[in-house]
Amino acid sequence: MGLPNAIGDLSTEVEVEAFRRLFPLRFYEKHLSESIRPDARPLGRARDTTIALGAVASANGSALAKIGSTTMLAAIKMEVMTPSMETPDEGCIAIDFHMPPICSPIVRPGRPAEAAPVVSKQLSDTILSSGMINLKELSLVSGKAAWMAYLDIYCLDADGALFDTALLSAVAAFSHLDIPEVSLNDDGKIVLLSEEQEGMSDRESVNKEKRKVTLSSVPFSLTCILHKNYILADPTAEEESIMETLVTVVLDSSSQLVSLYKPGGPVLAYTSAIQDCIALTRQRAKELQKILDEAISGMEVD
């Protein structure tokens, strides 16, 4: 990796790798002043993104999302539950985010990662408040039975932009979700119709038409770093540790703001910076929508 225009007294003498480790901030600032990042990206460009649907065969819906080397595996299990008294005709979504020790050197075995509950809370806030899934669709028999969707997201490699990748994998898993067919038995209880029985069973399926959830407005997010006047889209873990001001913008398909999340950080965000972040997110949301559509149409061909 070359350092463009190495100026300064030390940088000419020290090897690039050593300079990077000793003066990480100056190393980055030298790149930023040339409008480039050490991994050869321009400041506003996100890393390569891939989605693989159906990564977990035993789950009802699953997806593996990768942004750069950040990897998340999301899987949904559907279970029948009795809906609560307040919302008799609504299902429920339980979201959990796991960071096992394999994902990052910062996470130690035995001790849960600090970031995990925070990302988990952020995810459930975003998914539930965006109205992506109409909980009424998860109802089976009003007041008696409804679907409980357990969404578990495992972080396999944490290299920055955890929330973005987690949200993308969650959205992809929901778009891949196949709701299992169920029927009422003689006692009025819900039973799964397994595939072998399908032909033989004379029982009527209760949800023949409702095998897919409709995603009404899909939320997409982009995390940016604010550093001085620079805005860096989709940071890596190294960038996040050096420049600490993060702004996460979540927009849905109709460009409504679902969340604008800036938890502190040494740099103050002014209106212009916020506008730039939102503009970058708009662009990114279009990219992500395209990638997701391609992944879904790829599944249909198979």
Partner 1 sequence: MEVDREDGRTQNQLRPLACSRNILHRAHGSASWSQGDTKVLAAVYGPKAGTKKNENPEKACIEVIWKPKTGQTGKQEKEYEMILKRTLLSICILTVNPNTTTSIIIQVVNDDGALLPSAINAACLALVDAGIPMKHLAIAICCVAKSGYVILDPTKLEEQQKMKAFAYLVFPNSVHSVLPEGSLSVQGEPIEHGIITSVTHGTMSVDDYFYCLDRGRAASVKLSDFLRRSLQQHSTDSSKAG
- The two structure tokens encoding residue 41: 């990206």
How far apart CA 55 and CA 62 sit, in angstroms, is 6
* Residue 183 CB, nearest approach to partner 1 (Å): 36
How far apart CA 238 and CA 57 sit, in angstroms, is 34
Of residues 201 and 217, the one with the C-beta less far from partner 1:
217
Please give the size of the binding site for partner 1, defined by CB under 8 A: 35
* Residue 107 CB, nearest approach to partner 1 (Å): 10
Query: Of 56-64, 152-160, 259-267, 289-297, which part binds partner 1 (CB under 8 A)?
Result: 259-267
Q: Which of 3, 6, 81, 118 binds partner 1 (CB under 8 A)?
A: 118
How far apart CA 240 and CA 248 sit, in angstroms, is 12
Burial of 126 (0-12, 13-18, 19+ CB in 10 A): buried
Q: Does 156 bind partner 1 (CB under 8 A)?
A: no
Q: Which of 80, 141, 258, 292 binds partner 1 (CB under 8 A)?
A: 258
Burial of 209 (0-12, 13-18, 19+ CB in 10 A): exposed
Q: Which residues contact 74 (CB under 8 A, 6 or more apart)?
A: 62, 63, 64, 65, 151, 152, 153, 154, 166, 169, 170, 172, 173
Query: Of 39-47, 124-132, 175-183, 184-192, which part binds partner 1 (CB under 8 A)?
Result: 124-132
CA torsion angle 161 77 98 170 (round to 10): 10
Q: Does 120 bind partner 1 (CB under 8 A)?
A: yes
Q: Does 106 bind partner 1 (CB under 8 A)?
A: yes
How far apart CA 133 and CA 125 sit, in angstroms, is 13
Q: Does 121 bind partner 1 (CB under 8 A)?
A: yes
Q: Which of 85, 272, 297, 301 binds partner 1 (CB under 8 A)?
A: 272
CB 174 within 8 A of CB 76: yes
Q: Does 88 bind partner 1 (CB under 8 A)?
A: no
How far apart CA 52 and CA 296 sit, in angstroms, is 9
Q: Does 297 bind partner 1 (CB under 8 A)?
A: no
Q: Which of 29, 89, 90, 125 binds partner 1 (CB under 8 A)?
A: 125
Q: Does 180 bind partner 1 (CB under 8 A)?
A: no
Q: Does 242 bind partner 1 (CB under 8 A)?
A: no
Binding site for partner 1 (CB under 8 A): 106, 114, 117-118, 120-122, 125, 129-131, 217, 229, 244, 247, 252, 255-266, 268-272, 274, 278
